[in-house]
């Protein structure tokens, strides 16, 4: 919203103050100012000039040669405006002067020297009208500076509308002026209005509110004999500076009133609208709003009707048929208050957001409707004294907001602020903002003014805001708390997340990435991944992003594919959320998962697979000192490798899966690469109780290693051999894999058995019987010693 400081000056005298500094203060105490604009600063030596003579240019149909009286001398001017004529008084920029920020120098135009320029309103920066020269009244003193004739110089600032959402009272200049009064300690002048009681003897308007839930108040007045059609220049300048377009006197006045008081008004042509019904229609219908758009209006939209015929969308926009036209001389003035949520919903449904609807959405003060009419009439009569009220003020007041009265004591204020703000200062601040405030001892009673009582100020904490914002947060002494400190333990989740990230980044050189909680259907299609059924968003930006992801796999495969040029090999991981469908109560089963993917163009899939296997085991060991159990299983998703998908668990708790990727998908990622993938359930992982470390005293005696090379029968896994040494006794300190290869279709493993004793140096002879026992059991299981 744009605010004119000249306008503010009507209500509070800010003379002698540094306006830009004051506007900054407004940001800190009231609402955010986005921009400050100095208006009329691009004008210099622009005066009222009289066109003494007009001659046609010999070579141009458009141009004229003028003699212009600039007050100090007569200027020769070449002018191309269509409305030049002898005797016309216009704004005139003397040679060397400035208009619209451009210096006007002596220039040769089509062969003739021009020593100045006659201006349009647009060139003065006071309207968008550049159709012709601005015509000044004949009696304007010639040679007088234009900025002394009209209020062209102004400081205008723009307030961020969002920061006014909760302040219905700030949607007009008067409310803003109240803030400036409070900030400067200066007096706020009352609004000048016409006393409307004078018309009590006239007939009322027929106003029926059929939907009392949606219309809080409807106030109307009929006025006739309006002869003036054009608004005064100063009024048009203010409207223009505040972003409104001058139309005609009556339309301008309703806009002016709205910008001044924040009360939207509507002027109906009395010839077309002489009674009012406020209601909804049972069936949807078509209605043309005054912007000329034919709209579908549904049965939830509140309408203003006259004699059963809709004439306006309540609180949003009037209808084209009842619009004020240039020959309108009588009007029915509407000053009403509508239910805020209803206006907002209607405006959203219609896709029509107007200055009026924007204000109604904020829950305006219904007390405003009557003074707004008094003010309208005052402004109208000042401009057009012949105008006449022809009805009594008709006011249907359906719903009053309850008066809000709050009590609190000084200790409450102290506790909230943490600083000392004196009782007098509290009272002064609240009173300057229009609150009725009393103080007895240290206890305060505050009456909230109606313009703050619609929703904005309802509890005593709201009063704290009023006191502190005017006091200024910059003036606060800053202090730490006195509350006691307690040691804080990190949650197991937080610990696990951080530990896992550290291991993956620092030990394995993987890269952490972030993605989205929904599946990227487009990326999946490109990789040839079948779409997964899952919970959907109702309002995704694109259908490609509407299904929540069920696993981290597709996201990471997409990421790997996008990065395939990053290096010959790399790995990525993400700790993120997935949704595993709905639970019994219909709520999403959200799980936190670690997803991992490795990519290589230099190593085999098998090598990658075992690296990933090792990483998973390491995570379990390092974070929980736990061992994972792996088992091959059936692929969960179509992109997983049917032979090489494995599941892992810890102590019976299922934790996740590890897989190679189906060859066709790998080829789409990269023709020459291998890709493997895994997922670990971080919720379940974090919940595992960490195993205690069982420290083993290191043996003081040298141990002895015995190697066995074994030929394995088809299908035999390492785990199938483990029972062979399970009972080998405490002297078998460890078994490790030394070599593994496949020859003539048979798998061969070389295992190293490390023996050591706490009591003595073991000799080969001492361990040989144990080794023989192992060999015997292995042979029984089918694994023979290699020749």
Partner 1 sequence: MKEKIEALRQSFEQELQKAASSDAVEKLRVAYLGKKGSVTELLKGLKDVSAQEKKELGQHVNQLKKQVEENLARQVEAIQAAEEQREIDSAEQYDVTLPTAGAKGSYHPITIVQRQLEEIFVSMGFTVEDYPEIVTDYECFEAVNVPKDHPARDMQDTYYLENGQLLKTQTSAAQNAILRKYGAPCRAIFPGRCFRNEATDASHENTFFQMEGVMVDKDISISNLIYFMKTMLSEVFERDVKVRLRPGFFPFVEPGFELDINCLICGGEGCSTCHHSGWVELCPCGMIHPNVLKMGGVDPEEYTGFAFGLGLTRLVMMKYGVKDIRDLNSGNLKALGQFVHE
Residue 324 touching partner 1 (CB under 8 A): no
Stretch of residues binding partner 1 (CB under 8 A), selected from 191-199, 341-349, 379-387, 396-404: 341-349
Residue by residue, what is the 3-state secondary structure of 304-330? EEECCEEEEECCCEEECCCCCCCCCCC
Residue 592 touching partner 1 (CB under 8 A): yes
Residue 401 touching partner 1 (CB under 8 A): no
In contact, 595 and 556? CB cutoff 8 Å: yes
Residue 510 touching partner 1 (CB under 8 A): yes
CB of residue 576 to partner 1, shortest distance in Å: 8
Residue 568 touching partner 1 (CB under 8 A): no
If residue 581 lies in a helix (H) or strand (E), which one and from where to where?
A: strand 569-582
Nearer to partner 1, 568 or 738 (CB): 568
Stretch of residues binding partner 1 (CB under 8 A), selected from 89-97, 294-302, 438-446, 454-462: 454-462
Stretch of residues binding partner 1 (CB under 8 A), selected from 70-78, 118-126, 285-293, 580-588: 580-588
- Kind of pairing between the strands at 388-389 and 215-224: antiparallel
CB of residue 476 to partner 1, shortest distance in Å: 5
Q: Which of 480, 742, 743, 763 binds partner 1 (CB under 8 A)?
A: 480
Q: Which of 21, 538, 689, 693 binds partner 1 (CB under 8 A)?
A: 538
Stretch of residues binding partner 1 (CB under 8 A), selected from 55-63, 378-386, 482-490, 638-646: 482-490
Residue 213 touching partner 1 (CB under 8 A): no
Residue 511 touching partner 1 (CB under 8 A): yes
CA–CA separation, 108 vs 294, rounded Å? 51
**Residues 678-717, mask of contacts with partner 1 (x by CB under 8 A):** ----------------------------------------
Q: How many residues bind partner 1 (CB under 8 A)?
A: 86
**Residues 153-172, mask of contacts with partner 1 (x by CB under 8 A):** ----------x-xxx-----
* Residue whose entry in the numeric block shows the structure tokens 């003595």: 760
Tally of CA atoms within 13 A in the half-sphere of 732 that contains its CB: 21
Residue 677 touching partner 1 (CB under 8 A): no
Rounded to the nearest angstrom, the gap between the alpha carbon of residue 227 and the centroid of all alpha carbons in its chain is: 47
CB of residue 774 to partner 1, shortest distance in Å: 40
Nearer to partner 1, 31 or 661 (CB): 31
Q: Which two tokens stand for residue 514?
A: 């972030």
Q: Which of 539, 742, 743, 763 binds partner 1 (CB under 8 A)?
A: 539
Nearest Cα to Cα of residue 680 among 593, 746, 603: 593
Residue 382 touching partner 1 (CB under 8 A): no
Residue 537 touching partner 1 (CB under 8 A): yes
Nearer to partner 1, 99 or 578 (CB): 578
**CA torsion, ordered 509, 514, 517, 522, to nearest 10 deg:** -90
Cα maximum dimension of the chain: 132
CA–CA separation, 183 vs 446, rounded Å? 19
Nearer to partner 1, 271 or 464 (CB): 464
CB of residue 360 to partner 1, shortest distance in Å: 12
Residue 87 touching partner 1 (CB under 8 A): no
Residue 506 touching partner 1 (CB under 8 A): yes
Q: Which two tokens stand for residue 238?
A: 């203010």
Q: Which two tokens stand for residue 440?
A: 């007895």
Residue 522 touching partner 1 (CB under 8 A): no
Nearer to partner 1, 53 or 166 (CB): 166
Tally of CA atoms within 13 A in the half-sphere of 110 that contains its CB: 14
Residue 464 touching partner 1 (CB under 8 A): yes
Nearer to partner 1, 505 or 785 (CB): 505
Phi-psi region of 618 (alpha: psi -120 to 50; beta: other; left: phi over 0): alpha
Stretch of residues binding partner 1 (CB under 8 A), selected from 245-253, 305-313, 472-480, 696-704: 472-480
Nearer to partner 1, 17 or 28 (CB): 28
Residue 461 touching partner 1 (CB under 8 A): yes
Q: Which of 203, 405, 566, 707 binds partner 1 (CB under 8 A)?
A: 566
CA–CA separation, 369 vs 358, rounded Å? 17
Residue 322 touching partner 1 (CB under 8 A): no
**Residues 417-436 within binding reach of partner 1 (CB under 8 A):** 417-419
Q: Which of 21, 485, 689, 693 binds partner 1 (CB under 8 A)?
A: 485
In contact, 124 and 91? CB cutoff 8 Å: yes
CB of residue 342 to partner 1, shortest distance in Å: 9
CB of residue 282 to partner 1, shortest distance in Å: 24
DSSP labels, 218-282: EEEEEEE-----S--HHHHHHHHHTT-----HHHHHHHHHHHHHS--EEEEETTT--SEEEE--S
Nearest Cα to Cα of residue 329 among 291, 386, 393, 371: 386
Distances (CA, A) of 557 to 629, 635, 699: 25, 16, 48
Q: Which of 192, 382, 465, 526 binds partner 1 (CB under 8 A)?
A: 465
Residue 357 touching partner 1 (CB under 8 A): no
Which distant-in-sequence residues (6+ apart) come within 8 Å of 182 by Cβ? Answer: 429, 432, 433, 470
Q: Which of 517, 711, 735, 754 binds partner 1 (CB under 8 A)?
A: 517
Nearer to partner 1, 388 or 458 (CB): 458
**CB count, 10 Å around CB of 433?**
23
**Residues 287-316 within binding reach of partner 1 (CB under 8 A):** none
Rounded to the nearest angstrom, the gap between the alpha carbon of residue 556 and the centroid of all alpha carbons in its chain is: 29
**Residue 732 phi, psi (nearest 5):** -80, 105
Q: Which two tokens stand for residue 653?
A: 């708790």
Residue 513 touching partner 1 (CB under 8 A): yes
DSSP labels, 704-750: EEEEEEEEEPTT--HHHHTHHHHTS-TTEEEEEEEEEEEETTEEEEE
In contact, 178 and 46? CB cutoff 8 Å: no
CB of residue 38 to partner 1, shortest distance in Å: 15
Residue 584 touching partner 1 (CB under 8 A): no
CA–CA separation, 415 vs 435, rounded Å? 22
């Amino acid at each position: 919203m744009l605010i004119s400081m000249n306008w503010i000056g009507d209500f509070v005298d800010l003379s002698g103050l540094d306006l830009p500094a004051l506007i900054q203060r407004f940001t800190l105490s009231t609402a955010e100012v986005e921009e400050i604009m100095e208006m009329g600063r691009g004008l210099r030596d622009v005066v009222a000039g009289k066109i003494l003579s007009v001659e046609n240019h010999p070579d141009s149909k458009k141009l004229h040669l003028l003699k212009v009286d600039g007050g100090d001398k007569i200027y020769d001017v070449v002018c191309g405006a269509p409305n030049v004529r002898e005797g016309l008084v216009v704004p005139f920029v003397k040679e060397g002067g400035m208009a619209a920020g451009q210096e006007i120098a002596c220039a040769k135009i089509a062969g003739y020297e021009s020593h100045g320029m006659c201006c349009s309103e647009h060139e003065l920066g006071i309207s968008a009208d550049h159709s012709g020269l601005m015509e000044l009244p004949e009696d304007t003193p010639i040679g007088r500076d234009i900025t002394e004739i009209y209020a062209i110089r102004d400081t205008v600032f723009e307030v961020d509308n969002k920061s006014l959402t909760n302040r219905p009272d700030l949607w007009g200049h008067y409310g803003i002026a109240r803030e400036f009064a409070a900030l400067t300690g200066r007096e706020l002048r009352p609004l000048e209005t016409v006393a409307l009681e004078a018309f009590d003897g006239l007939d009322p308007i027929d106003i029926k509110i059929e939907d009392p839930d949606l219309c809080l108040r409807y106030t109307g007045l009929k006025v006739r004999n309006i002869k003036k059609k054009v608004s005064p220049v100063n009024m048009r300048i203010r409207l223009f500076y505040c972003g409104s377009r001058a139309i005609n006197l009556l339309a301008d006045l309703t806009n002016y009133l709205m910008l001044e008081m924040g009360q939207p008004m509507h002027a109906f042509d009395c010839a077309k609208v002489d009674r009012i019904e406020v209601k909804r229609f049972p069936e949807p219908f078509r209605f043309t709003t005054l912007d000329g758009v034919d709209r579908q209006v549904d049965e939830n939209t509140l309408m203003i009707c006259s004699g059963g015929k809709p004439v306006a969308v309540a609180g949003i926009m009037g209808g084209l048929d009842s619009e004020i036209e240039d020959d309108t001389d009588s009007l029915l003035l509407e000053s009403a208050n509508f239910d805020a949520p209803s206006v907002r919903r209607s405006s959203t449904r219609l896709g029509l957001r107007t200055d009026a609807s924007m204000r109604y959405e904020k829950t305006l003060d219904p007390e405003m409707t009557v003074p707004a009419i008094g003010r309208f009439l005052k402004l109208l009569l000042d401009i057009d004294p012949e105008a006449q009220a022809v009805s009594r003020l008709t006011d249907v007041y359906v719903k009053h907001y309850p008066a809000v009265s709050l009590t609190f004591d000084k200790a409450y204020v102290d506790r909230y602020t943490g600083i000392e703000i004196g009782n007098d200062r509290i009272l002064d601040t609240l009173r300057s903002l229009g609150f009725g405030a009393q103080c007895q001892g240290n206890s305060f009673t505050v009456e909230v003014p109606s313009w703050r009582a619609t929703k904005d100020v309802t509890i005593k904490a709201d009063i704290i805001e009023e006191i502190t914002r005017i006091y200024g947060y910059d003036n606060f002494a800053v202090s730490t708390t006195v509350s006691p400190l307690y040691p804080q333990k990190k949650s197991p989740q937080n610990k696990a997340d951080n530990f896992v990230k550290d291991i993956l980044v620092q030990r394995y050189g993987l890269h952490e990435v972030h993605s989205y909680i929904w599946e990227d259907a487009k990326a999946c299609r490109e990789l040839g991944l079948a779409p997964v059924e899952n919970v959907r968003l109702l309002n995704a930006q694109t259908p490609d992003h509407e299904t929540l992801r069920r696993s981290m796999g597709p996201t990471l495969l997409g990421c790997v594919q996008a990065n395939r040029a990053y290096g010959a090999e790399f790995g990525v991981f993400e700790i993120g959320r997935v949704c595993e469908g709905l639970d019994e109560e219909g709520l999403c089963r959200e799980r936190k998962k670690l997803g991992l993917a490795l990519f290589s163009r230099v190593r085999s899939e098998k090598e990658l697979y075992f690296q990933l296997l090792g990483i998973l085991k390491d995570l379990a060991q390092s974070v929980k000192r736990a061992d994972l159990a792996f088992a091959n299983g059936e692929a969960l998703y179509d992109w997983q490798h049917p032979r090489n998908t494995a599941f892992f668990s810890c102590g019976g708790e299922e934790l996740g899966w590890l897989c190679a990727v189906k060859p066709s998908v790998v080829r789409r990622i990269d023709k020459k690469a291998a890709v493997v993938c895994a997922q670990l359930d971080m919720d379940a992982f974090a919940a595992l109780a960490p195993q205690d470390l069982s420290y083993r005293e290191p043996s003081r005696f040298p141990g002895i290693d015995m190697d066995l090379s074994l030929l394995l029968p088809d299908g035999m896994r390492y785990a199938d051999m483990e029972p062979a040494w399970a009972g080998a006794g405490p002297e078998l300190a460890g078994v490790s894999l030394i070599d593994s290869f496949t020859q003539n279709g048979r798998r061969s493993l070389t295992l190293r058995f490390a023996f050591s004793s706490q009591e003595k140096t073991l000799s080969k002879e001492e361990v040989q019987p144990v080794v023989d026992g192992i060999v015997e059991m292995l042979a029984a299981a089918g694994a023979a010693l290699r020749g």
